[in-house]
Amino acid sequence: MKDKVALVTGAAAGIGRVIATRLARESAAVVVADIDQDGGAETVRQIEADGGRAALVLADVAVEADVQAMITFAEQRFGGLDILVNNAGIAPEPYFPEVEPGHWSRTLDVNLRGVMLGIQFGMQAMRKRGGGAIINISSMAGIGYRPYDAPEYAASKAGVVRLTAALGYLKEAGIRVNCICPGWVETPAVQHYLATTTPDKLVALDFPPPPVLIQPDEVAEAVIMFIRDNTLAGRVMLWPDGKPRQLIPVDAEH
């Protein structure tokens, strides 16, 4: 990935930070996009300490002007955009329908509209470079028909899945859009949640944690796979636990 430019949203911590640092180790220049200035700066520091190239841009993916600005930043700082990882996502309590629309609509704006804005403006930059790869980080919460305690989160992630498959045709223009749907990923936030939640409450969850959690570096490896394999477009990776992943073909009936 030498001479490639990547942008990762939500890269100030967790999965986003691990993806950003992995891309930098693969020799890509990385734009770290987040609303968390301190966390984003730490991600940049880690990349630079490892000999990589990175820069921070403060951006709220739910704000159109911010998304336009982060794409422009990538072009001005590193010369273009080749890789976009739409990772930013939220699921703040309380959940729909027990809260006012202004609260739950924020989840839809960040998790789904933010992805759509990133793709739309990211494509414009990628076309100048002859194409590119877009990887959307969704969730197993968006798959299936079971109940879920955060309906707006599940709906937004389901939207990302369908959006990805619907954009499979962009491969003809040299832009490949794919999606990863992990279940429980062992991030610091998840570790804290598991350590502070009683076993009976965990078992009662609509999607309880499995015995084997997915590691953040495994998600980063899947991102690398989607970037490198130029035959994949409109694909959705289903990944409920730390066991082998299932890759759904673009023409599958799901």
Helix and strand element counts for the chain (H, E): 9, 8
> Residue 248 is encoded by which pair of tokens?
């759904």
CA dihedral sign, ordered 88, 75, 70, 127: negative
Put the strands of the sheet holding 29-34 in their side by side order: 54-58, 29-34, 5-9, 83-86, 132-137, 175-182, 236-239, 246-248
- In the structure encoding, which two tokens stand for residue 28, read together? 């890509």
Closest C-alpha to 4, from 17, 167, 25, 191: 25
Q: Say if residues 165 and 177 touch (Cβ distance below 8 Å).
A: no
Q: What tokens appear for 210 in the block?
A: 């499995």
Pick the catalytic residue from 95, 145, 148, 153. Answer: 153
Task: Write out the E strands in 47-127.
Answer: 54-58, 83-86
> Can 148 be counted among the known catalytic residues?
no
Which of the residues are catalytic? 153
